[in-house]
A = this chain, B = another copy of it.
Amino acid sequence: MTSYDPRRVRIDTPIQERVINGHPIAYLDSASSSLPPRAVIEAMSRYYERHHANVHRGVFQTANEATEIYEGARAAAARYINAPGGADEIVFTKNTTEAFNLLANSWGVANLRAGDVVLISEMEHHANIVPWFHLRDRVGIEVRFIPVGDDFRLDLSDLEQLMRGVKLVSLTGMSNVLGTINPIAELTRVAHDHGALMAVDGAQWVAHGVTDVVATDIDFLAFSGHKMLGPTGIGVFWTRAALLDAMPPFLGGGGMIADVRLDGYVPADGPARFEAGTPPIAEAAGLAAALRYLENLGPEAIVAHERSLTVDALARLHGEFAERVRIIGPLDAVDRGGVISLDVEGVHPHDVAQVLDQYGVCVRPGHHCAKPLMRRFGLAATARASFGPYSLTRDTDALIDALGHALTLFS
């Protein structure tokens, strides 16, 4: 049993004590980055105050402690996503983006040839687009897009057609613009039936879901600490041991080698092969604390809470502003997370966010690193509100109130 109370989580996150322009902060930008609770911040401070040393090659006590903390975080990440091979399948990167570059440059360069297809979608974040464009330029792969329908969901009507020649399907688990949650398990089955592998962008999916790489049967997963109450500077790349063992190195340097001679080198085995240089040690301490914190709350409970906030917000936004505020994303809260992109009639998203800031409401204007998706819906940008485990109905109240002011000012 968990003891999840979002008000308690709010109290745990010091930044939410802030008053912005005379209003209590209503932080609705968790899809960009989440707010770390004190336990996470303190785990990092404690690390630096008591245990800091470089990892792996030390013998002295603090070096051992730092190594245990770092490797412990690997085990915690493995547990959090139910990695079948445990810690040996967890590679720490600096963020989700680096994880995708690792996937494309290591697995991709080793396994894809000119003409092979990587199937992504129109709702991908640039992190799951640009590395494939780079690989196209380098190797000659084709990057193909699953279209997004007017219902803001993947249009799978031509899927069989789209699957021709596909070696890898790489999809976001949850759109950071639409909130749409994609049917990953089903699509993985399709991918595997066609002899393709399945990669999932878990930046939102892991942060706002219950992740089980075994149950979904996916092959690759990427996510970021800072999206799930953890620190900046750390991300995770997961793949099953059999795949990882066959992947060539990507970044080169210390820690990823078994031997270096003047004429070449032998790479190390295991996750170390992909962790060149001094890793994000304090960040791993912070990530482990975040995962512990989330586990204590219970990911299912968080999902349920964020869903109820979303259902309420969608209904009220629709009820309050009718046609003046269009929601760019599914209106039903089925297979949908707490990300609500708004297109406000006659008010540019930048101005929406500016006016909202005056009332302490933090929303993000922009293309949200999903330009192809923006183009698909004829938009340059949206104003996006998104929930986290500490979000409360009063944040939605503040959002609706401030949106009213924005509409008045620009009417």
| Chain A contact patch, size range | 35 or more
In the complex, chain A residues 341-382 whose Cβ is within 8 Å of any chain B Cβ: 350, 353-354, 356-357, 361-366, 368-369, 371-372, 375
A29 pairs with B49, CB closer than 8 A: no
Contact of A253 with B29 at beta-carbon distance under 8 Å, contacts A130-B265, A232-B280, A261-B372 already known = no
A254 pairs with B369, CB closer than 8 A: yes
Residues of B within 8 A of A366 (CB): 57
B127 pairs with A277, CB closer than 8 A: yes
- Smallest CB-CB separation from A37: which chain B residue? B48
In the complex, chain A residues 184-237 whose Cβ is within 8 Å of any chain B Cβ: 224, 226, 231-235
B281 pairs with A131, CB closer than 8 A: no
Residues of B within 8 A of A125 (CB): 253-254
Residues of B within 8 A of A260 (CB): 126, 129-130, 371-372
Return the contact of A61 from the options B20, B54, B232 (Cβ within 8 A): B20
B20 pairs with A252, CB closer than 8 A: no
Q: How many copies does the complex hold?
A: 2
A180 at interface (Cβ–Cβ under 8 A)?
no
A32 pairs with B54, CB closer than 8 A: yes
Contact of A264 with B133 at beta-carbon distance under 8 Å, contacts A41-B48, A232-B278, A252-B126 already known = yes
In the complex, chain A residues 369-401 whose Cβ is within 8 Å of any chain B Cβ: 369, 371-372, 375
Residues of B within 8 A of A25 (CB): 62
Q: How far is the CB of A257 from chain B (nearest CB, A)?
A: 6
- Smallest CB-CB separation from A368: which chain B residue? B57
- Smallest CB-CB separation from A279: which chain B residue? B232
Q: How far is the CB of A399 from chain B (nearest CB, A)?
A: 12
In the docked arrangement, what's the CA distance between A226 and B277, Å?
11
- Smallest CB-CB separation from A259: which chain B residue? B371
Q: How far is the CB of A226 from chain B (nearest CB, A)?
A: 6
In the docked arrangement, what's the CA distance between A273 and B277, Å?
22
Q: Which of A126, A130, A232, A264 has the most CB of B within 10 A?
A: A232
Interface string of A249-277 (1 = CB under 8 A from B): 10111111101111011000000000011
In the docked arrangement, what's the CA distance between A232 and B55, Å?
11
List of 5 A-B pairs having minimum Cβ-Cβ separation, nearest first: A97-B277, A130-B252, A254-B369, A233-B233, A97-B253
